[in-house]
Amino acid sequence: MAKAIHSMIRVLDEARSVEFYEKAFGLTIDTRLDFETFTLVYLRSPDADFEVELTVNKDRTEPYNLGDGYGHIAFVVDDLEAEHARMTEAGLGPRKLVSFSPDGGEPIARFFFVADPDGYQIEVLQKAGRYR
């Protein structure tokens, strides 16, 4: 059986991105592989195997065009309101809290989005139901 291990995103400024992911989600550098033309930075939290892989192309000077194909990556948290308040206080600019009730009934998810320094969208979900 396959197991998801990381999601890769291209970033313009390594230090700025590492700082964001640490401040927003507590991810720290697990491994940093430096090559002649690019650097790979693997970020993880102490309680999960899944990593965010930052790819830094050394000759890149312009922000990446995210196009219309990128969706988002998601993180689950124990206390959505507390995380929203913490990110707001930290100046990370989380968007509004949303309760998603597609048929008008009981919400199936509660979440908010925040963008990283390169514009990648990140969904932050309340731990509940299928989101664990």
- Whether the pLDDT of residue 2 is over 80: the answer is no
CATH code for the domain of 2? 3.10.180.10
pLDDT, average across residues 29-45: 96
**What residues make up the domain containing 43?**
1-61
pLDDT of residue 32: 97
Domain-located, residue 108: yes
> 120 lies in a domain?
yes
Model pTM score: 0.89
- Our count of domains for the chain comes to 2
Tell me whether residue 57 is in a domain.
yes
67 within some domain: no
In a domain, 4, yes or no: yes
| Residues tagged active-site | 123
Q: What is the pLDDT of residue 104?
A: 82
Long-range contacts of 46-53 (CB under 8 A, 24+ apart): 49/3, 49/5, 50/4, 50/5, 50/6, 50/7, 51/5, 51/6, 51/7, 52/6, 52/7, 52/9, 52/21, 52/27, 53/6, 53/7, 53/8, 53/9
Residue 113: pLDDT over 90: yes
pLDDT at 116: 97
**Average pLDDT score over residue span 20-36:** 97
